[in-house]
Amino acid sequence: MNLTQEDWIEQLEADSNAVILDVRTEDEYNDGIIASALNIDIHQGPAFISAIEALDKSKNYYVYCRSGARSAKACEIMNELGFENAYNLLGGILAWNGEIVAPD
């Protein structure tokens, strides 16, 4: 499901079962992330699918990339794999008005 920046943040902040998922490359991830984001690069093909399949399907996933295109595709893939709650950040991190932090 695609959410505007405002809706994504509002829903995320109210969600005690949330996981933030960054589907950009490792280099992009290292440039700065939305706090506590987990990185799984969608360009890794089968490795991406394996990593997604290993995630807890009972969680709610807030997915982003650079502009929103890769994360939209990631949400589609997650839905196909049985994830009911995958939310795409429209506009990606480029449109993000919140804090961007260095990964741990």
| Inter-residue contact 100 to 31 (CB < 8 Å) | no
Amino acid in the structure at residue 95? A
Catalytic hit among 40, 63, 65, 75: 65
65 in active site: yes
**Which residue do the tokens 């505007």 mark?**
4
Order of strands across the sheet with 18-22? 2-3, 86-89, 60-64, 18-22, 38-39
Give catalytic residue positions.
Answer: 65
